Amino acid sequence: MNSNKEMPKHEIIRCERCETPFECKANSFTKCQCSTVQLTLNEVQYVSELYDGCLCANCLLIIQQEYRESIGLI
C-alpha cells in the first residue's frame, strides 16, 4: 500500500469576495498569489472576521485599504 499518494498541489478556486478564479497554492504558501499582500496581524484578524475562505490578492489589498481608512491610518 502506497501511503505517499501525491495530493494535488494547486487548485483553481474562486475568491470569496469577488468570485474571480485564481490558483490556490496552499501547499506552497510562499508561491501563492495571496502572499504578495503583506498584512499586519490586526489586518489578518479584520479579514477573517469578514470572510471564511480564500481571497484574491486584489481583494486583500482593497480590504487592507478599507481597514487602514477605518482606523485613520490613511
**pLDDT tens-place string over residues 10-63:** 789 999 999 999 988 877 778 888 889 999 999 999 999 999 988 999 999 999
Its pTM stands at: 0.79
Cell of 43: 489586518
Amino acid 3: pLDDT: 47
The C-alpha atoms of residue 9 and residue 24 are separated, in whole angstroms, by 9
Nearest Cα to Cα of residue 46 among 27, 65, 72, 74:
65
Helix runs in 1-74, H state only:
41-50, 57-70
Which has the higher per-residue pLDDT, 4 or 64? 64
Nearest Cα to Cα of residue 62 among 26, 17, 5:
17
Amino acid 32: pLDDT: 84
For the chain, what is the radius of gyration of the CA atoms?
Answer: 15
